[in-house]
Every structure is written in C-alpha cells, then in structure tokens.
Structure 1
Amino acid sequence: MALRKRSLLIAVVAATFLTSLAQAQEKFIVLASTTSTEQSGLFKQLLPQFEKASGISVRVVAVGTGQALDMARRGDADALFVHDQPAEEKFVAEGFGLERRAVMYNDFVLIGPKSDPAGTRGNNISLALKRVKDTGAAFVSRGDKSGTHAAELRQWKLAGVDMAAGKPAGYKECGCGMGSALNIASSTNAYVLSDRGTWLNFKNRGDLSVVVEGDKQLFNQYGVIVVNPAKHAHVKKDFAQTFADWVVSPAGQNAIASYKIGGEQLFFPNASQ
C-alpha cells in the first residue's frame, strides 16, 4: 500500500512538473482588442499568419476600447489593438504603454432603416444626427466606452447636440458590443453608428442599410500598443513587441489589405504613413 501511494505521489509530481514546463515553454500573448477586429472577421485571417511566422499564439480578449485600455492598465494584457486615438495617446503618456503605432483604418457608417424616417441619407453625419434628434427617431448607442462609442459622442458634439444637457428622445444605450447593438437596431428599426468592417460581416440586417457614409469626420484609425513592463513586470514585452512589429511590417500590412468580404476590402493598412 505504501509503495502504491509513493508511486502515485511520484506520478502526480511528475505530471505537475511536466504541465508547468509545458506552460513555461508555450509562447503566447494576451491581446486586448476592440470588438470590431474580431466581429469583422479580420483576426481569423490575420492571427494564423502571425502565429505561423512567429511561433507565438495570440489569445484575444475582444471588448470595447475603453475596457481594453483598463485591462492593460491592470496588467491583464500584453498588447492592445484598439481605435480611440486620444485615449490611446493618453494611455502612453501615463506610462502604461511603450509606443502607439498606427496600423490601419476604415470608417464609421450610420446605419438606419431603408425608409430613412429621419431623412438622414447622404454624406453629412452632423446634419444626419441633428435630424435624428429633431424627429425623435430611435437610435441605439453602444454606451460601453468603446472606441465606437467615443466616436459617436464626438459626432453628437460636432452636430451641436449637448448630450450632458439631455439625450435625444429616441436615444437608447445598450452597454453592449457592436454586433449586439446592430441586432437591437435591426429588431427595432433604429439608427446606429457602426464601424464598416463589423457591418459588412453582419448577417442579421433586417430592414437596415447604410444611410450616411463618406464624411471625413467618420475616419476610423486603429493602433497597436505594447504594454509597459515597467508598470507590470509579468508583461511579455518581447512577444508583444514581435506582434506589434509584425502587424506594421509588409507581411502584416499585406494580410490586412487582403481581407475582403464580398470583394470589398474592410481595412486599409497605413503603418508607413
């Protein structure tokens, strides 16, 4: 009996050691990213190519940009791939990130019912939002402190709508990701601001269509940041830097440019600009 117990103990210790060794040897990073990079389908193309080139796997946590930045501030991520430039620059200035590098861009679009009851259709987002407010049309906001939510609030401000003084009559916040916000808009025939990539990959469109696009105010820039190991010593700086360097390299930029849905390119690399 004693021999059996000793053998069992040795087996458990050996298994624990081998598991720990395997985990220590596994090369991976945690990437906190905006939901649009995942829900658009981009990461399904991009990350396998990076992993094949580097041997480093990427574990994505797709949340709103605000939540992603908060994760990184706590040391719960090794790198960021997000789209709220003012917030990203603040993150770096506070010492939480090593450097912010431009990666790619696309644009935001205003989605609404095909009948366009608020009369928003065109290429002027400020005028469109004023009409949404004046008509009391239903509008779904992500309300989640994401990059898209921050962009939406900037557009309301540029349209002369003071959200602090009172939100428009039809304005509803869901506190949710882009896909969920689009689903709510589809089921309620509401307007919603979306990044183009997620919209193109969205299937449950119902009666929705793009009603406003092409306004230069709707430009949507994405950046990559390596979390500063001086703030959190456990951050995998070297692996994260390898990822950041790859996405701005010709190989990474080509992988981004080649991602299309229905022949339409979703993201446009601009790391060299």
Structure 2
Amino acid sequence: MLRRSFVLGVAAAAALTGLIQTAIPSAASAADRFITVASTTSTEDSGLFGSILPKFTAKTGIEVRVVAKGTGQAIDLAKRGDADVLFVHHKPSEEKFVAEGFSTLRKPVMYNDFVIVGPAADPAGIKGGKDVAAALSKIAAAKAPFVSRGDDSGTHKAELALWKTASLDPAKAEPKESWYRSIGQGMGPTLNTAAAMNGYTLTDRGTWLNFKNRGPLTVLVEGDKRLFNQYGAMLVNPAKFAHVKAADGQAFVDWLVSAEGQKAIADYTINGEQLFFPNANEPGA
C-alpha cells in the first residue's frame, strides 16, 4: 500500500508539472503581444501616454512599448525597422518618411502649440507678445540666454524655422553667439537648463504643463499661429521590414484616430487644462 501511494504521488506530481509547463508558454505568449512605438519626448514627458495607453491595452490586449526620442531620432529608429509605429510632430519629415516608402500612409492625430518661456523678470521684454519672430529678435538683441534643444527633435526643427522667420540663425553664427546655448538634449533637461540660467526657450505646451521644476520660468509668448504643433502617426511599412507587427501596429494607429482614441486624448488634462486637441478628421491636418 505504501509503495502504491508513493507511485500515485509521483504520477500526480508529474501530471501537475506537465500542467504548469503547458501553462507557462501560454502566459508567455500573452505577455509577448506588444508593439514598439517610436515617438517624441513630448508625448512621454507630458504624461499623455501614461493616460491613454492603458485604455488601448485594456481594449486590445496589446502592450505598447514606447521609445521616446526627439522626432529626428525617432524617425531614424523607424527607418532602421526598430519600431512598428512612428508617432511624431514634424509634418514635413513625416511626409518625407511616407514618400520614401517607410510607411504607406500618415494619419493626423492631434495638435497643441509651442510657447516661449523665460524668466519672469523678462530682460528681453517679450512678455505678452503675440509675434514670435519679434520676440526672438528682442531676445537676440538683448543677448539674453536662450537654450536650444539642439537634438533634431520636432521642437528643435520648429525653433530653427522660427528663427528664420526673424531673419536670424544664431545656431550657425560665427563667432558662436555666447547667449545661444545648444545642449543636444530633450525637453525636460532643456527646461531645467533654462531655469538654471534664467534663460528663454521654446517648449511644447504639453511638456510645460507637466513640468514641475519651473523655477523662475513662466510663459511669455503664445498665440501666434506659427506656434501650431501637429502630430501624426504611421505604421512602419512591413514590405520594407518583414518583422513589423503590421496587424497590431495598425490597430494602434486606427485606435488613435477612432472616436474612442480621440476622446482619450481630449480627456487628458492637468489641473483642468487640456494638453492635446484631437483632429484626426480635420482636412489638411
């Protein structure tokens, strides 16, 4: 009887082990259902992804793993096939990405705006202005510290374009303008540097609203239509990279522009202030 009980015990343990081994691959398969999204620091630093991605995952079972870089770096990542979806904010670069065959379609998703922030003391005297070119001209004339991301991000590209509207290009000035600091970092470190220097900088409003270490900084210039900031999303072309998770990646893009995704974006606020404004169905966006 003792021997029979022992044999039955061994058999039961073996059966249990088999059940566990069978269950483990199933759980691993579920955990492995994810997509990689190359996106900007603003969508991450603003807290938007933290708000909307759990809603997408709860609906679809697809985890979204974000690689947050400046727009230029995010595009390069996608061009290497290291992402399934690209979600950035520089329309000319996005359209070029599609034209070069790295995606077949760009979908507009949302917009917000850029603002110029600087010290409340405002040595350049730009506070309350609605003309961004005039504000930049005053900063240059006063040689007041200006901190540039200098990282080929969408914000950096926008900043360089705005300097051109003022017929200035401090990034290429020779000798180098000592008041213009290009640091090659993301929006958070750029704002930290501006705060430490009592300097000015250009920031997307979403990151600014979620930024805690403001120090002496405040919004000084806003409202110029040239400060408009559009975001778009694209599935990386699986015809170029066979490993792209096309179905799940497309599901994410489709969700972003769906009524549910657009509402999730609109519902994200900080202290009652909306950070991004969905416009997937707006012509020309």
TM-score by length of 1: 0.91
Q: CA deviation at 1:22?
A: 2.4
Please give the per-residue CA displacement for 1:96-153, whole angstroms capped at 9, x wherever unaligned. Answer: 0121110000000000000110111211110010111111110000000000000000
C-alpha distance in 1 between matches for 2:32 and 2:216: 47
Corresponding residue of 2:162? 155
Does 1:33 pair with 2:39?
yes
Cα RMSD after superposing both structures: 1.9
Q: Which blocks of at least 5 consecutive residues in structure 2 are unaligned?
A: 1-16
C-alpha distance in 2 between matches for 1:170 and 1:179: 20
Structure showing greater Rg: 2
Q: CA deviation at 1:27?
A: 1.3
Corresponding residue of 2:14? none
What secondary structure is seen at the aligned counterpart in 2 of 1:29? Answer: strand
- Residues 137, 169 of structure 1: 8 Å contact kept: no
C-alpha distance in 2 between matches for 1:19 and 1:175: 43
Corresponding residue of 1:146? 153
C-alpha distance in 2 between matches for 1:159 and 1:75: 38
Corresponding residue of 2:269? 260
Q: How many residues align?
A: 261
C-alpha distance in 1 between matches for 2:168 and 2:126: 16
Please give the per-residue CA displacement for 1:152-174, whole angstroms capped at 9, x wherever unaligned. Answer: 00000111103434454410111
C-alpha distance in 2 between matches for 1:175 and 1:19: 43
Q: 1:132 to 1:169 in 2, by over 3 A?
A: farther
Instruction: Give % identity.
Output: 60
C-alpha distance in 2 between matches for 1:89 and 1:111: 29
Corresponding residue of 1:3? none
Corresponding residue of 1:208? 217
C-alpha distance in 2 between matches for 1:105 and 1:231: 29
Q: Which blocks of at least 5 consecutive residues in structure 1 are unaligned?
A: 1-10
Please give the per-residue CA displacement for 1:221-273, whole angstroms capped at 9, x wherever unaligned. Answer: 00001000111110001110000000000000000001100110000000011
C-alpha distance in 2 between matches for 1:91 and 1:245: 19
C-alpha distance in 1 between matches for 2:167 and 2:46: 31
TM-score by length of 2: 0.87
What secondary structure is seen at the aligned counterpart in 1 of 2:130? Answer: coil
Corresponding residue of 2:206? 197
Corresponding residue of 1:113? 119
